[in-house]
Chains A and B, each alone.
Chain A
């Protein structure tokens, strides 16, 4: 059990929650969370939006009952956090390009922060695509070298990568698949995938899907972050 420190409105249906938590957390990992006792039955996976000094942050979109209950939770109330689970974004001494679509920007922020903390002189370009209203753009502008934003169009049309750039992306799967098609094979691309989850730890096989090599991957345990070669042919 952890205690909610704040839970604030960011934009229409988008909320930002801070929770007191201490532990080792890597960018791209997620927690199974719940603020309720019995209903809905399953906990909900949420990526880590940020972590530092004993505070973990989530950025989430209200889409159904679970996220509605989350948004109604107040500072001082309890939240159950299971995790952190899964494999995050590998962070190496490289220039990075981050491409986020909608609420998919959530795990990218923490990744971008870690990249800049570790390798401040490496170049970081961020592309953020939103269907209507942009949010959290300023937060990215504080840490990245360049931030490009698109509203209502196709963010992938703006994306440019140089040789040796490492690309990290999270968003609607059509966006990530399109991005992978347009980025040269030489570049390393890490995609963060989503699937309905029950256990979050690799036991139920509910989030399992076929990967590029004819073998199945579990999004929760083998991912959610994958090298694109593992997912797309």
Chain B
């Protein structure tokens, strides 16, 4: 029987819709000890920037009910290191490697994208939604104009398809999604983390040096689901649903409201095998429901 989970995202074939979210999976190595990474539909790299970054100082993690607030601050080895040292290994994976790219200003975004032109990465995830850096990051993702402007320039500079990763920290995500679509994005991923904060009342201090940080994990799933639904109703390009996905049912819900693929983030930390279990769950679901393709349920609740 043919693989019911096979799908295409912006023309790119995925063996299944399950990918791992940027920043929660390193560059794959750490999880390669648990299972064969080729089982995954795809994986998103840690957020890459033109220059290496050490990330934020101070406490970087804070747990909340069903959630995790992080303030990593885009620690990464820089785009050149990725191209020279990490890509040669990643490119051998049959799963789709998605290079997640961030910047502090327009030039650093565009120069990073130019350097990625040297390699055959199948898809770029343009991160205009990181709440954990002082400059750039989320600033580009919070207005339709700035999002469209950066997307258009990225599309012009890059020889790779660009998927834009949206921030939930806006009043109207649909207008931003549409602006990115019009500017030439081949797809969208949402959501990045929700801006949040924590206070240590015993020490009378704010937990994070950066004051605000990003919340994700199962607590945010209903919000992510709502936003994916809103965006899928409004755009024609494919969407990757991200945010709090913990089970195959969550993944399915995302697809029922229109997502083509999904990304698993924080749940990798709790259970390294979770993406594989979600793939298994979806496979069983297709069998039980007699679906020839998971695509039959996509968007049925739009």
Q: How far is the CB of B39 from chain A (nearest CB, A)?
A: 17
The A-B contact count (CB < 8 A) is: 78
**A-side contacts of B68, CB under 8 Å:** 41-42, 198
**A106 on interface, CB distance cutoff 8 Å:** no
Q: Report Cα–Cα, A210/B68, bound state, in Å.
A: 22
Q: Is A205 in contact with B63, judged by CB distance below 8 angstroms?
A: no
**B-side contacts of A208, CB under 8 Å:** 55, 60, 72, 75
Q: Is the interface of B mostly helix, strand, loop or mixed?
A: loop
Of A42, A196, A203, A205, which contacts B31 at CB under 8 A? A203
Q: Report Cα–Cα, A202/B23, bound state, in Å.
A: 11
Q: Report Cα–Cα, A207/B29, bound state, in Å.
A: 17
Q: Is A206 in contact with B30, judged by CB distance below 8 angstroms?
A: no
Q: Interface with A: B97-105, B148-156, B262-270, B294-302, which one?
A: B262-270
| Residues A203 and B270 in contact in the complex (CB < 8 Å), given A41-B66, A197-B61, A198-B61 | no
Q: How far is the CB of A231 from chain B (nearest CB, A)?
A: 15
Which residues of chain B from 14 to 53 have any CB-CB distance to chain A below 8 Å in the complex? 23-26, 29-31, 33, 46
**B70 on interface, CB distance cutoff 8 Å:** yes
**A221 on interface, CB distance cutoff 8 Å:** yes
**B65 on interface, CB distance cutoff 8 Å:** yes
**B-side contacts of A39, CB under 8 Å:** 65-66
**B232-255, CB under 8 A of A: which get 1 and which 0?**
000000000000000000000000
Smallest CB gap from A214: residue in B = B54
Q: Is B25 in contact with A38, judged by CB distance below 8 angstroms?
A: no
Q: Report Cα–Cα, A221/B26, bound state, in Å.
A: 12
| Residues A38 and B66 in contact in the complex (CB < 8 Å), given A197-B61, A203-B26 | yes
Q: Is A42 in contact with B270, judged by CB distance below 8 angstroms?
A: yes
**B263-302, CB under 8 A of A: which get 1 and which 0?**
0001011101000000000000000000000000000000
Q: Report Cα–Cα, A207/B269, bound state, in Å.
A: 13
**A40 on interface, CB distance cutoff 8 Å:** yes
Q: Is B67 in contact with A204, judged by CB distance below 8 angstroms?
A: no
Q: Is B66 in contact with A203, judged by CB distance below 8 angstroms?
A: no
Q: Report Cα–Cα, A108/B67, bound state, in Å.
A: 33
Of A40, A204, A221, which contacts B269 at CB under 8 A? A204
**B3 on interface, CB distance cutoff 8 Å:** no
**Interface of A with B (CB < 8 Å)?**
38-43, 82, 196-208, 210, 216, 221
The 5 closest A-B pairs by CB, nearest first: A206-B61, A203-B26, A199-B269, A203-B30, A198-B269
Contacts A/B (CB < 8 Å), 11 sampled: A38-B218, A41-B67, A199-B30, A199-B268, A202-B29, A203-B268, A206-B60, A206-B61, A208-B55, A208-B60, A210-B57
- Starting from the known contacts A41-B266, A196-B59, 4 additional A-B residue pairs (CB-CB under 8 Å) come to A38-B218, A201-B31, A210-B54, A210-B57
